[in-house]
Amino acid sequence: ETGVTQSPTHLIKTRGQQVTLRCSSQSGHNTVSWYQQALGQGPQFIFQYYREEENGRGNFPPRFSGLQFPNYSSELNVNALELDDSALYLCASSPRQGTGELFFGEGSRLTVL
Amino acid sequence: GNSVTQMEGPVTLSEEAFLTINCTYTATGYPSLFWYVQYPGEGLQLLLKATKADDKGSNKGFEATYRKETTSFHLEKGSVQVSDSAVYFCAPDSTSGTYKYIFGTGTRLKVLA
């Protein structure tokens, strides 16, 4: 059983650029959630996708957007990057009816200069 | 909105010492409660969980009891090992079963041999 995989693992962008992060969910998981983890902080919920639609959003501006594909994989897009967007971005998958456990990938570390 | 307050770290203990990491939360309704652990260089993984009042979650010698009256979910271990060195996150589900977690800031534990 393949776990949650994310790409790229590290990337560097400059302020104002755009970035796309990718996530493949664990086999059989149809719900994908994205979290932002700033250095020394806990993960903050960005949004969740189920059946290719956004299913809840945290306190993040519209320049954070996402997609989910028919194979349940997902993308996180961030436009007009700001310095404060530098963080570890975590993807987590889960089955719709499950035990409540989130299965996390190892994250994509974004540095904005 | 829902929130969680977690004991600040870092916590430094000698091997075989007793560990307590405090966690309290505010929530509407009765969330499921989770502890996640992040080992150095790895993604988050579930340590234990409890889904209703007075439930005790346990795993790898760690325990936590869902205390509805004090809205707490403190993590304990009777005898820590060097391999327990990691960052520990308390996380209530914002509404039970939605997989939209609210993470604490994390408590870094360092265990010395």
Asked whether the predicted pLDDT for residue B95 surpasses 90, the reply is no
Asked whether the predicted pLDDT for residue B66 surpasses 80, the reply is yes
Average pLDDT (B52-57) is 93
Render pLDDT for A94-113 as a digit per residue (tens, 0 to 9). 887 767 788 999 999 999 99
A-B contacts (CB, under 8 Å): 59
Q: Output the pLDDT for position A37.
A: 94
Average pLDDT (A29-36) is 94
Q: Which residues of B have a CB under 8 Å from any CB of A?
A: 6, 32, 34, 42-46, 49, 51, 89, 91, 93-94, 96-106
Q: What percent of chain B has pLDDT over 70?
A: 96
Query: Which residues in chain B have Cβ-Cβ distances shorter than 8 Å to A106?
Result: 42-43
Q: Output the pLDDT for position A32.
A: 94
Interface contact A90-B93, CB threshold 8 A: no
Q: Output the pLDDT for position A70.
A: 93
* HEC letters along chain B: CCEEEECCCCEEEECCCCEEECEEEECCCCCCEEEEEECCCCCEEEEEEECCCCCEEEECCEEEECECCCCECCEEECCCCHHHCEEEEEEEECCCCCCCECCCCCEEEEEEC
Asked whether the predicted pLDDT for residue B96 surpasses 80, the reply is no
For B99, name the nearest residue in chain A, comparing CA atoms only.
Answer: A100
Asked whether the predicted pLDDT for residue B8 surpasses 90, the reply is no
Q: Which of B99, B102, B104 sits opposite A94 (nearest CB)?
A: B99
